[in-house]
Amino acid sequence: MTDPSSPAPSTASNESWREWLLTAEPHSRNQARLGRAYVTWRRFSENRLAVTGLLIIVALVLVAIFADLLAPHSATVGDLAGARLLPPGSPGFLLGTDDQGRDILSRLLVGSRITLAVVALVAIIAAPVGLLIGTVSGFAGGYVDAVLMRVTDIFLAFPKLILALAFVAALGPGIENAVIAIALTSWPPYARLARAETLGVRNSDYIAAVHLMGASPARIVIRHIMPMCLSSLIVRVTLDMAGIILTAAGLGFLGLGAQPPLPEWGTMIASGRRFILDQWWVATMPGIAILIVSLGFNLLGDGLRDALDPRGAGR
């Protein structure tokens, strides 16, 4: 019975799959992990709102991947003379056109790439930085902790958007700089979170055991502490994504994010606000897009929090 695959039912029905996944006595580590993931998924999928959020995000990813195929027109080249400021529902322009005669739908579709890229890049940069600083700080304690946490305090002392504005102003406007600026301003909460989690586990028996076996501090932090922080970090990052989108859109709106002709949603709102009285759709459509995607990330984050929360595991 040591072969992990042997108890797996090869031809059996769904019922036995579930039994195998939910068994109280897993036969292998993989079986236990899969069982755990299955339980989490069950808990997540019970939450309809969370599933809605997930669907929105999946749709966003698909749209971003296939934007070129989906977009009916060019996102950057418009027909100034022939198709300027057409209302939604005009033939060929489902959501209308903007002041340069560009199709708003196409711009929104292609713009989803920028939004997704910003969110992904910020998450990739900020989350590991925060995780590393937080776990090292929490595990090492003493001076290291004090210094790292004071640096974190300094960053936390500034309002996020103002600090991002300052960074962009120094680095020069542009989408790359906007990403860097947002990442620089969003790691401190992750560091705090990771430190708190680390403090919770650093004195537990399993860490002491690993320590006795001669593991180096680096190994303990990376292999045995970071995984414990991951679930809460994922939840936090997902919940923050809506904020990241709004910050990026805010920078774009102020002319410090994406530069024309990039169809970044915030920039689109900024250029559409001139027509808000007579051609409401130019600013409204990207606004709705931002709303939907932010909502999607928030719902997903909420669902993940409920599903990943170990205290709710026994429910």
Partner 1 sequence: MNMPILGKHLRYLSAGAAVAVFFALSGPSFAATPADTLVEGFAIDDIISLDPGEAFELSTAEVTGNSYSLLVRLDLDDTTQVKADIADSWTVSDDGLTYTFKLKPELKFASGNPITADDVVFSVERLIKMDKSPAFLFGQFGLTGDNVTEKVKAIDPLTVSFTVDKPYATSFVLNVLTSTAGAVLDKKLVMEHAKAVTPSDEYKWDTDFGNDWLKTNSAGSGPFKVVTWKANEAVVLERNDEYFGEAAKMKRVIYRHMKESAGQRLALENGDIDVARNLEPGDFEAATANPDLATISAPKGTVYYISLNQKNPNLSKPEVIEAFKYLVDYDAIGATLIKGIGEIHQSFLPKGQLGSIDDKPYTFDVVKAKDLLAKAGLADGFTVSMDTRNTQPVTGIAENFQQTLAQAGVKLEIIPGDGKQTLTKYRARQHDMYIGQWGSDYFDPNSNAETFTANPDNSDEGKVKTLAWRNAWDPKDLDAETKAALLEKDSAKRAAMYQDLQRKVLESGPFVVIYQQIEVAAYSSKLKGFKLGPSYDTNLVAPISKE
Q: How many residues bind partner 1 (CB under 8 A)?
A: 23
* Residue 262, phi-psi category: left (phi > 0), alpha (psi -120 to 50), beta (remainder): beta
Rule CB under 8 A: choose which of 7, 35, 261, 287 binds partner 1: 261
Are the CB atoms for 137 and 148 separated by under 8 Å?
yes
Rule CB under 8 A: choose which of 150, 277, 311, 315 binds partner 1: 277
Rule CB under 8 A: choose which of 9, 141, 274, 291 binds partner 1: 274
Nearest to 165 by CA among 150, 151, 187, 180: 180
Nearer to partner 1, 122 or 283 (CB): 283
Rule CB under 8 A: choose which of 28, 275, 284, 302 binds partner 1: 275
287 binds partner 1, rule: CB under 8 A: no
80 binds partner 1, rule: CB under 8 A: yes
Return the structure tokens found at 255: 């002319």
Shortest Å, Cβ 268 to partner 1 = 12
Nearer to partner 1, 238 or 267 (CB): 267
Shortest Å, Cβ 99 to partner 1 = 6
Are the CB atoms for 168 and 256 separated by under 8 Å?
yes
76 binds partner 1, rule: CB under 8 A: yes
Nearest to 98 by CA among 280, 277, 237: 280
The type of residue at 152 is T
What 3-state class would DSSP assign to 159? Answer: coil
What are the respective helix, strand and coil percentages of the chain, to the nearest 5? 70, 0, 25
Shortest Å, Cβ 252 to partner 1 = 12
Q: What residues line the site for partner 1 (CB under 8 A)? A: 76-78, 80-81, 84-85, 99-101, 173, 255, 259-261, 271, 273-279
